[in-house]
Amino acid sequence: MKFALRFIFFSVLLLSHFSSYCWGFYGHRKINYYSVFLLPPEMMVLYKPNIDFIVEHSVDPDKRRYSVKDEAPRHYIDIDYYGTYPYPALPHKWTDAVKKYTEDTIVANGIVPWHVQTMLGRLTAAFKEKNFSKIMKNSAELGHYIADAHVPLHASSNHNGQLTDQKGIHAFWESRVPELLAEKEFDFFIGKATYISDPGAFIWDRVLESGKASDSVLKFERDLTNEMGVDKKYSFEERNGVVIRQYSSAFTIAFNKKLNGMVERRMRQAIYAIASFWYTAWVNAGQPDLKPLVKQRFSESELKEFDQLNDSWKNSGKMIGREEE
C-alpha cells in the first residue's frame, strides 16, 4: 500500500514537471497567433493562410534546446551580471560588448537582444529573396525570441528563483498565469504593426523593462507565499484527465492581481513587437509582393527536418544548458 502511494505521488510530480514545460508552449503560440492579425493586408495575404505554421513552429527554438548546445543563450540575458539598472556599463552594440567583456562572457550570460537583431536580418533577407520557407521559419522563430525578451525572469540571473528558494517561479509567471487567465480575462485587441526605425534600441528597451521588473516578480511571489501559506500555494487539479500538482488557482489569481496585470501587459507588448518586427523586415526588404508565394509549400526535405526536430525533442532526456522550468 505504501509503495503504491509513493508510486502515485512520484507519478504526479513527474507529470507536473513535464506538463509545466509544455504549458510554456501555450504562451508562445498565443503570442504568435495574435501577432498575425496586426499585419497590413499586403502581408496578411501570406501570413493568414499559414497561421497554423506560425503558431506551431513558434516553439521550435525551445525544442532545439534539447539538441543544440548553442541554443540556450539566445533566449535570455542575465543582465544583472553587468551591474544595476539601467546597466550603463554594458554596451548595446555587439562588437563593443565583446571587446569589453569577451565573447565567451557575453554568450555565457545570454544574448537575446543581439539574437533578435540577427533574426531580423535573416527575415529581411528572406523577404528580399522571396523565399517562402525562410520567411515562414524565420518569422515563427523571431516571434519566439522577441516574446522571451519580454519575460522578466529571462533578464535575471535568478531566472527560476533558484537563488531565493523560489524554484518554479519561471513557469509560474510564464505559463501558469496565462494558461489560467488569458482566455477569460486578457485583452488581445491591439492596434496595427508599425515600422521600427531603430530595432536595436527597441529590443534593448524591452529587455531593460524586463530586467527592472524581475525583482517585483520575485518579491510579490514571496510576499504572497507568506500571506497565503504554502498549504494554499499548491493544489492537485485535473488536467486532460490526469491529476497533477501545480500552483493553485487561488494563488495564481492573487499573484496576477499583485502584479497588476503585468503578464497581460507583457504579452500584449510582445504581440505588438513581433508584428512590428515582421513588418519592419518586409519594409526594409522593399515591400515585395507576397501574393505569388501564397500557394507555395515546404519541400519534402524541409518537412523532414521539422519532423526530425520534433522527434529529437520528444526523445531527448534533458535540456542542454540551464533549465528554466
Residues above pLDDT 70, as percent of the chain: 92
Cα dihedral 207, 34, 40, 120 sign: positive
Task: Inform me whether the pLDDT recorded for 1 exceeds 80.
Answer: no
Q: How far apart are CA 164 and CA 215, in angstroms?
A: 11
Task: Inform me whether the pLDDT recorded for 5 exceeds 50.
Answer: no
* pLDDT (average), residues 186-207: 97
| The pLDDT of residue 316 | 81
* Contact between residue 38 and residue 272 where contact means Cβ atoms under 8 Å apart: yes
Q: Nine-digit cell at 283?
A: 519594409
Sequence-distant (6+) residues with CB within 8 A of 81 are: 109, 157
Structural domains in the chain, sorted by start = 2-315 (1.10.575.10)
| The pLDDT of residue 325 | 55
| The pLDDT of residue 324 | 60
3-state secondary structure the chain: CHHHHHHHHHHHHHHHHHHHHHHHHHHHHHHHHHHHCCCCHHHHHHHCCCHHHHHHHHHHHHHHCCCCCCCHHHHCCCHHHHCCCCCCCCCCCHHHHHHHHCHHHHHHCCCHHHHHHHHHHHHHHHHHHCCHHHHHHHHHHHHHHHHHHCCHHHHCCCCCCCCCCCCCHHHHHHHHHHHHHHHHHCCCCCCCCCCCCCHHHHHHHHHHHHHHHHHHHHHHHHHHHHHHCHHHHEEEEEECCEEEEEECHHHHHHHHHHCCCHHHHHHHHHHHHHHHHHHHHHHHCCCCCCHHHCCCCCCHHHHHHHHHHHHHHHHCCCCCCCCCC
Dihedral, CA of residue 17, residue 21, residue 23 and residue 28, to nearest 10:
170
Q: How far apart are CA 2 and CA 254, in angstroms?
A: 36
Sequence-distant (6+) residues with CB within 8 A of 105 are: none
| The pLDDT of residue 15 | 36
**pLDDT classification of 173: cutoffs 50, 70, 90:** very high
Q: How far apart are CA 157 and CA 312, in angstroms?
A: 28
* pLDDT (average), residues 267-289: 98
* 4-13, 250-259, 308-317 — most confident range: 250-259
pLDDT in tens, 219-271: 999 999 999 999 999 998 877 788 888 999 999 999 999 999 999 999 999 99
| The pLDDT of residue 14 | 36
Q: What angle do CA 72, 73, 79 make, to 5 degrees?
A: 140
Q: How far apart are CA 239 and CA 29, in angstroms?
A: 19
| The pLDDT of residue 323 | 67
